[in-house]
Structure 1
Amino acid sequence: MKKKSLVATCTIAVVSGISLFAIAQLPPPPRMHSVTQRGVLELLPATSTPEIKNEVTIEVIGDDRVIRSNGIPNHKTGTFPNRGNPNRISAQKHEYRVPARPEVADRITPMHGEFGVAVNGVPFDPGAAEFFAGEPGWQYEPLSGAIALGIDVSHAHVQPTGKYHYHGLPTGLIDSIRVESGKHSPLVGWAADGFPIYAVYGYSKPDDASSRVQKLTSSYQLKEGNRPGGDAPGGKYDGTFVRDYEFVAGSGDLDECNGRQCFTPEFPEGTYAYFMTEQWPVVPRNYRGTPSNDFRHGPRPGGTGGQMAAGPQGQGGPGGWARPSGRGGPGLGPGGPPRPGEVLPWFVQESLNLSESQTEQLAALQTLVDERLQSILTKDQLRQLQRGELPGIRGNRAGGRPQ
């Protein structure tokens, strides 16, 4: 009995120590579906002019390129809320720091949140919290049309926090910066690892700026045959799910990160660069460099509780946000403590050098855990977690019982 009591006390202590990390700061609550075929992607026309003016600054400070914005696009959008998306666009307080002089890393890193940020300050966030109701790891591709998500003609929609974000080619932005056939794409944005992002058009010879300009193609292809079935979805690999695609080296112009080493107008001496493509993945899903933690979903590594690490307006908690250098606030690991119900903290995942498949399966498992946790707790209990109002928790970060 004493052993059980000790275990229970330790469990309470750990949960108490991390319970200030709000469930509200997770990605949008996951939804489960049984659809196994892609549909028709119906894009909303750009009929709405944002009521708030776009604000964005991009500057190099020390070793970082700092992008700050209010997240309001500089172009017309679809109407939000709408039938597929009940959220309204609102001003954010985005601040992203990426390496000003990025370097190619020893290994590829899968995306764990937003891929990057556009030059207008709107983030690229190609994933969606939509999963198959069965075997973990089957995430729906938001541009497949299988699930109606209220996406507009710029392949964007709005999160519950009011954050407008791009899932695919940002046509409104592309028109405003004049991406045109026959000309190399201008700079479209910055990836989380600091390398530049371009759209569709690049030199036919990567190391020759005098070569003709062409549409660059992805090297991802649909898998052949049918999905496993059983607890997993069945049916033909048709692009309904992210896992319907596989990388086929040499089948296109770009590598598994949808990028290449090349010359660009902004980097005439060469750089690694990402290209958004007309084919899947459209927005890249892997990094060649080391991504900044500022683009991760959920509480930012380095937050210490209280106001959370990244609220709806992006305010940092007392510990601030972890930067590319990896500095973080106090807690269970170099980047701060995990949130309630977290299966494997971000720093543990990074240390395990997980494969892309393992990362996808862990993400799906985490989705199920998050959904279950939210179904167990009442709305009032969730609100308490969000506000840090649990009795005996404030000022008690060591996790001990209140006396």
Structure 2
Amino acid sequence: MKTLGAMLALTLLTSGAAQAHVTITLEGDRRCITSDGVPDHETGPWRAWATVQEQNHQFCLDATPELTGTVTSRVRISGVTVTGIPLRPGTAEYYDPSSERGYSRDPSSGWNVEGIGGLVMDAQNAHVDGDGMYHYHGIPFAVTGALDGTLFGYAADGFEIHYVGAEAQSSWQLKPGERASGPGGAHDGTYVQDYEFVAGSGTLDECNGAMFNGQYVYFATDTYPFFPRCFKGTVSSDFIGGRGDRHPRGAADLR
């Protein structure tokens, strides 16, 4: 693997509704991003008791990622923005008609609730989990609108995530017709299983990736899957559990 010879330390102090402290350190073949997890834009509202709490995020990932020829999909956190906020598009909730809310953490139905379309988000397509960890399920336009260029963040395997709006189109599409089981009704995006990958229907592959300026990168898109949910490089353990994730078994999202 190619090794970067220089070390770069960058601290971002942004102004707005809150002060977001982010440090990005690059040394050799590792890039580490630390932050307090507090975004620099307005958040909420959700339930009155659901509030953003400062975190001790540290995500270290491959600074010179390479395609491995394999795909990894079981990752809790997909990546992190350049502003230090986790990307966590998936949920641990499933359709459950026996639950008062209509869903629970019992996966037996096989219908996984999609964050965008299935749960309550704020204006930046985000909310907090049970430990007050703020995270994005979809595009935060307060962030993408303030980018200096197209670099939006870094994925769990180290590849860059870019946002170029409509110039990058997901190849995941809503299935036609009605659901044959579970909750019934039309495939409307409430559940992950409402979508299917249709190669060539968009410009991106199944992991929301493509070549960009001569390099393989992922894209954040305005439609499902929003952020990469599978990965073609070597995934850092910090995105599965560890220093970047203080609660590796998962804390429930608050709706």
Question: Partners of 2:71 and 2:127 in 1: how far apart?
Answer: 28
C-alpha distance in 2, partners of 1:282/1:55? Answer: 25
Written as runs of structure 1 = structure 2, the 5 A alignment for 1:4-403 is: 49-50=17-18, 53-79=19-45, 82-83=46-47, 86-133=49-96, 135-144=108-117, 146-147=118-119, 149=120, 151-177=121-147, 185-201=149-165, 215-229=167-181, 232-263=182-213, 270-296=214-240, 299-300=241-242, 311=246
Radius of gyration: which is bigger? 1
> Aligned partners of 2:178 and 2:221: how far apart in 1?
25
8 Å CA contact retained: 2:153, 2:162: yes
SS at match of 1:109: coil
Report the AA paired with residue 114 of structure 2.
E
Native 8 Å contact 2:155 2:228 kept in 1: no
Higher helix share: 1
Retained in 1: the 8 A contact 2:239–2:245? no
Structure with the higher fraction of residues in strand conformation: 2
> Residue type matched to 1:122 in 2?
I
Question: 1:168, 1:187 → 2: CA distance?
Answer: 16
Cα 1:311–1:257, aligned 2, differ >3 Å: closer, same or farther?
Answer: closer
Q: 1:176 aligns to what SS in structure 2?
A: coil
Q: In 2, distance between residues paired with 1:159 and 1:247?
A: 29
SS at match of 2:59: strand
Q: 1:111 to 1:215 in 2, by over 3 A?
A: farther
Q: Gaps (5+ residues) in structure 1?
A: 1-47, 179-184, 202-213, 264-269, 304-308, 315-338, 340-366, 372-403
- What's the CA shift for 1:260? 0.4
The total of aligned residue pairs comes to 227
**TM-align CA RMSD:** 2.5
Work out the CA distance in 2 between the residues paired with 1:236 and 1:93: 41
Q: 1:310 to 1:166 in 2, by over 3 A?
A: closer
In the alignment, the residues of structure 1 paired with residue 229 and residue 171 of structure 2 have an alpha-carbon distance, to the nearest angstrom, of: 13
Query: Are the counterparts in 2 of residues 68 and 121 from structure 1 also a CA contact under 8 Å?
Result: yes
